[in-house]
Amino acid sequence: MSYAELNVTTNFSFLRGASHAEELVAKAKALVLPAIAITDRNTLAGVVRAHVTAKELGLKLVIGARLDLEDGLSLLCYPKDRKAYGRLSRLLSLGQARAQKGQCILYVEDVAAHAEGQIFIALPPETWDWREATSLRDRAGNAARPSGADILCYATAKTLGPGSRFCASSLRDDAPAGMTGQARAADATVSPRSLADELIRLKAVLGSAPLYLAASHVYRGEDRARIGALGAIAEHCATPLVATNEVLYHAAHRRNLQDTLTWRNSHTTITQAGFRLQANAERHLKRPAEMARLFRGYEAALVCTLEIANACTFSLDELVYEYPEEPVPPGKSAQQHLEDLTWEGAEYRFSDGIPGKVRQTIERELKLIAELNYAPYFLTVHDIVTFARGRGILCQGRGSAANSIVCYCLSITAVNPTEVDLLFERFISESRREPPDIDVDFEHER
C-alpha cells in the first residue's frame, strides 16, 4: 500500500514547523514516498525551496497551504493547475492584507470565492471529542464502528444543541491548552455546529470543489475509536476520509526543537508549557508501510492521498514573468514603441550626433530585447521613472542596468556605458534566459 503525505508543516510556519523544506523533501524521498505536499499556515513561502529540492531528487511535490479560517474549520488547500494556484495566491494576499504582519484573516466565503480548481481537506481539531458517539454505540450493543446517525445524535443533541451555529474558537486547535470540546463549547459565546454539520455546510459553500476529511493518530490510546468516528462522519457527509500524519518535522529527533518552538510561541517557560506541547515524537514523516499499519481497515484513506496527489498537476516551473501590456500608440507594438523612445532619447543624450559605436550598441541591445520579448518590461520601468520625475521625485537607476545604453537613452540611468568598460551581458544574457534586473532608487521622503 503506497501513501503520499499531504499535511506537512515547514519552518516557514513560524514557531510551528521544526524542519526545513529541503529536509522534509529529502526525507520523503528516502522513505520512498511517491509524493509530498507542503501546507504551511496561511502561506506559500515554504514551497519554493521544497520545489527546488524535489526537482533535484525526482520527487513529486504537491503545492498547498493550510487555511486557518475565522468562522470555520481549518482547511488544507491544493491547487490543481496554474489558474487555481493564482486563485490561492490571491486568497492568501486578501487575508494577509486584512491583518497585521504575520497574521491572516480569512472567512469561509473568501475560500468559496476562490475555490475553483482547488482540492480541500477539512482538519478536525485534535481536541474534537468523539467519546459520546462511542458510548451511544456501546449502549446499542453494536460492536461495529459508530454510525453516522450516532455521531449526529451525539453532536446535535448532547453537546451542541439543535440548530446551533458554528463557533470557530470551539473547534480550533489553537484555543487554550487542555480545554476539551465540551468545555470549549461552554466557554464560547454561541454553541458550535457539529463536525458533521460543518462539513455539510462546507460542501454546500465550496460547490463542485472536492472536499475530504483528514484523519490522523493522536496517540492517546483512543485512535481506533476516534478514526472510526471520523470515518462514520465522512461516510455520512460523503466527504472521503484521507490519512495524514500532521507532520511538523522530518525525523523524530526534532521533537525537542518543536517543543522549544511551541513554548516560545506560548510566551511561557518550557516547564509551564504543559499540554501545549506535543504528547509524543510521532509528528514526523513515516514510511508507507507504517501508515498502512496505522490505518488498517481504512485503506481507502491511503488511496485518497494518491488520488489527490495525482490530481494536482501544477508545478512552480509553470510560473513565468508576465509583464503588463503597456499602453502604446495605435498601430505600434511594444517593441516598436520602445525603439522609438530609445532613439528619441539617444538624440537627446548625444545632441551633437549619435556616434557610430553608440548606434551599433543600441541596435544590438534592441535586437536582443526583441528576441527575448522584454520590451514591455523596459516600458514599465520607463513609465515609473517618467511619472516620478514629472512630479519632482528624485530617482536613479543603478546596478547592472548601468551597463545598458538603452537604459541610458531612456533616462533610467545616468551613466553613459560607452565611457566606461562595462559588460552588457552582465545585464542581459541570451544564454541565461532570465529577465534583466533594473534597480531604481527613489527618495524615501516621497
pLDDT digits (tens, 9 = 90+) for 25-34: 999 999 999 9
Cell numbers given for 338: 520602445
Q: Do 242 and 304 meet the contact criterion of CB atoms below 8 Å apart?
A: yes
Cell numbers given for 400: 547592472
Mean pLDDT, to the nearest integer, of 120-128? 86
Give me the pLDDT at residue 402, please. 74
> Distance between CA atoms of 97 and 239, rounded to whole angstroms?
32
- Please, which pLDDT band fits residue 274 given cuts at 50, 70 and 90? confident
- Please, which pLDDT band fits residue 126 given cuts at 50, 70 and 90? low
Cell numbers given for 31: 522513505
pLDDT of 138 above 90: no
The lowest-confidence range among 164-178, 199-213, 298-312, 359-373 is: 164-178
Give me the pLDDT at residue 275, please. 73
Give me the pLDDT at residue 271, please. 73
The more confident residue out of 275 and 195 is 195
Give me the pLDDT at residue 419, please. 77
Closest to 261 in 3D by CA, of 84, 10, 8: 10
Task: Kindly report the backbone phi and psi dihedral angles of residue 441, in degrees, each rounded to the nearest multiple of 5, phi listed first.
Answer: -90, 140
Q: Do 395 and 438 meet the contact criterion of CB atoms below 8 Å apart?
A: no
Closest to 21 in 3D by CA, of 37, 33, 10: 10
The angle at the Cα of 105, spanning 120 to 78, to the nearest 5 degrees, equals 20
Return the SS3 of 397: strand
pLDDT of 225 above 70: yes
pLDDT of 326 above 50: yes
pLDDT of 193 above 50: yes
pLDDT of 74 above 60: yes
pLDDT averaged over every residue in the chain: 84
pLDDT of 137 above 70: no
pLDDT of 392 above 80: yes
> Distance between CA atoms of 294 and 289, rounded to whole angstroms?
9
Q: What is the pLDDT of residues 235-271, one digit of tens each?
A: 999 999 999 999 999 999 999 898 888 877 777 777 7
> Given the DSSP bridges, would you call strands 60-63 and 65-67 parallel, antiparallel or unpaired?
unpaired
Closest to 125 in 3D by CA, of 84, 74, 91, 77: 74
Give me the pLDDT at residue 150, please. 43
- Please, which pLDDT band fits residue 370 given cuts at 50, 70 and 90? very high
- Please, which pLDDT band fits residue 176 given cuts at 50, 70 and 90? very low
One-character DSSP codes across 155-180: IIIIII-TT----HHHH-TTSSTT--
pLDDT of 22 above 90: yes
Write the CA distances from 237 to 152, 195, 196, 225, 427, integer angstroms. Answer: 10, 10, 7, 18, 57
Segment holding 37, helix H or strand E? strand 35-38
Mean pLDDT, to the nearest integer, of 304-329? 91
On whether the pTM is more than 0.85, the answer is: no
pLDDT of 82 above 70: yes
Closest to 59 in 3D by CA, of 8, 119, 122, 14: 8
CA atoms within 13 A on the CB side of 83: 4
